[in-house]
Amino acid sequence: MSPEHPAQAERPAAPPEPPSSLLAAIWLSLRSLLGRADPPPQTAWSFSATGVMSALLCVWALAFLTFGPSLATVGCSEPKQGPPPIEEGTIRGLSEADTLFFYDQRGTLLAETSGTGEVRARFNAYPYGATRHQSSTESRLYAGAPRDTGVGLDH
């Protein structure tokens, strides 16, 4: 019985075996993905990995385009309504009663000022901490070490 149309021709019962087990696995997975019963031409075996990688790339792109905007929407939503949090201990301003200490990179005291910026005391040191000028009553003068004023040495 001859078919009336060439597309209705009978297909072979079993496709030929691929040359190796790796190619067989790739061929079977592509066959199931594409829904094709006949094997691809022999020249297409070298391009089968490209098709799989393209499919994986499409899956990742679809997942990113699906979940990316939803995560951004959830992350950028407005906070809960209610009073602002209590900020205990937050400094809102400085007054004359406040004292500020200014240090250099070694931790040596340079100046002691009020909260308004008025200089109350200074300290200057020669190399290795020998006092050059001192009007501060602070005990940690040179390199953050406590100074024994009785003998003039830093601990």
Q: What are the beta bridge partners of residue 47?
A: none
**Rounded Cα–Cα distance for residues 142 and 106 (Å):** 8
Tokens 């679809």 identify what position?
62
Query: What would the pLDDT profile of 30-81 be if each residue is shown by its tens digit?
Result: 776 666 655 555 554 455 566 677 777 878 888 888 887 777 777 676 766 7
Q: In the structure, what pLDDT confidence band is assigned to residue 118 with cuts at 50, 70 and 90?
A: very high
Three-state DSSP state, 99? strand
Q: By C-alpha distance, which of 40, 5, 37 is closest to 23? A: 40
What digits encode the pLDDT tens for the residues 74-107?
Answer: 767 676 677 777 777 777 888 999 999 999 998 8
